[in-house]
Amino acid sequence: MIKFSRIGKNNSLENYKRNHRDEYVVRLTYVTSLVLFGILIGISTQNANAQLGVNKAFTLEGNGYAVSGDSILPTSVDLQFTITQKGTTTEFILQNGLIDINGKELDVSNFSGTLLKNGQYFRIASKASDSDGKEFSLKVLGTLIEKTQINSIYSLTGTLGDSSKSTKLIYTTKVSEFTATIKPTDNKKKEVTVRILKGSANPEQQTYKEQIGGFSFKFFSEDRILIGAGGTITFVNEDVVSHSLKSGIGHTVSRHKTFTADGKISSGDIQPGKSWSVTFQEPGFYRIFDEKYQWMDTTIFVSKDSSSKTLGSGNPHN
């Protein structure tokens, strides 16, 4: 027996809702693109090389919307990865990955990617799991919108789903490349100095003048640092209050970034005018944040310049 479905007012209403929602998403994407274009219109792209490429390390951060059924929810993405060349293929290696959908965090794993047209596009496929262990498949396509020497803007569209449900993802993301801080001629010293800027503990103070592009505060003199294994980073506190730095994992709560310490690095209190040094032996990414002022963070990428696998400890200079 063939069973027919009855088409009536309910189905018409559902079709109307679906069409209206899809139209809203299209408008939302269009408006977001216009706003983004307005922000980027003044950026120079001459000799730019910040788009994704091989043998480099990157962070990818952005916000957007997750669309499923009748709901449109805020979402954010935060990835740290490297891209290497193996023969004729590229290999994406994930260090850390996190997706947040309206406060629900998903850890990214089994990460793979493909570069297309010299980094103008890329595809990512991975798994994502929530705190209950439920797994989802993630597939996204990234499209280069604009770039500078060390940053790029990519739009990301894709899906997150399991056997019963699929969610559309739409992001605008900033991809940042780790560029060399230490020149090859500095191999004997292998040391970088990072300043904790005055006013970082209270960025609302009128005396805090150092900003990025005139609209975003800067708390460290370096937002991201590339250093070889065995290299040392010294943090100098130029602020008027003490700061305590730790390494950890970032989270997004109501679009505000917070961190959980991982126990690898801890500076203790760095008093005003004092410094603290830490030596890195193990390659990989490190997120450094201030325990009390969690809007302060910087990312360090340690390249494979040494075979040592021991993480060094820091020594306060008080």
pLDDT by residue, tens only, the chain of 318 residues = 444 444 444 555 455 555 555 555 445 554 444 444 443 433 333 333 457 888 888 999 999 999 998 899 999 999 989 898 887 778 898 888 999 999 888 999 999 999 999 889 999 999 999 989 999 999 999 999 998 877 899 999 999 998 888 999 999 999 988 865 544 334 444 788 999 998 888 877 644 444 444 444 578 888 788 888 889 999 999 999 999 999 988 776 556 678 889 999 999 999 999 999 999 988 888 999 999 998 898 989 998 754 322 233 344 444
Rounded-to-integer distance, Cα 258 and Cα 193, Å: 25
What pLDDT does residue 258 have?
81
CATH of domain 45-177: 2.40.160
What pLDDT does residue 20 have?
53
Tell me whether residue 128 is exposed, middle or buried, using C-beta atoms within 10 angstroms of its C-beta: 0 to 12, 13 to 18, 19 or more: buried
Residues of the chain with CATH 2.60.40.420: 184-317
Rounded-to-integer distance, Cα 178 and Cα 152, Å: 12
Beta-sheet strands, E only, within the chain = 56-68, 71-86, 89-101, 104-116, 121-129, 135-147, 151-161, 166-177, 191-196, 211-212, 216-217, 224-228, 231-237, 243-253, 256-270, 275-280, 284-290, 297-303, 315-317
Rounded-to-integer distance, Cα 315 and Cα 318, Å: 9
Please say whether the beta carbons of 269 and 244 come within 8 A.
yes
Tell me whether residue 264 is exposed, middle or buried, using C-beta atoms within 10 angstroms of its C-beta: 0 to 12, 13 to 18, 19 or more: middle
Residues of the chain with CATH 2.40.160: 45-177
CATH of domain 184-317: 2.60.40.420
Q: Which residues pair with 156 in a beta bridge?
A: 142, 171
What pLDDT does residue 134 have?
92
Single pTM value for the model: 0.65
Q: Which amino acid is at 231?
A: G
Rounded-to-integer distance, Cα 97 and Cα 109, Å: 7
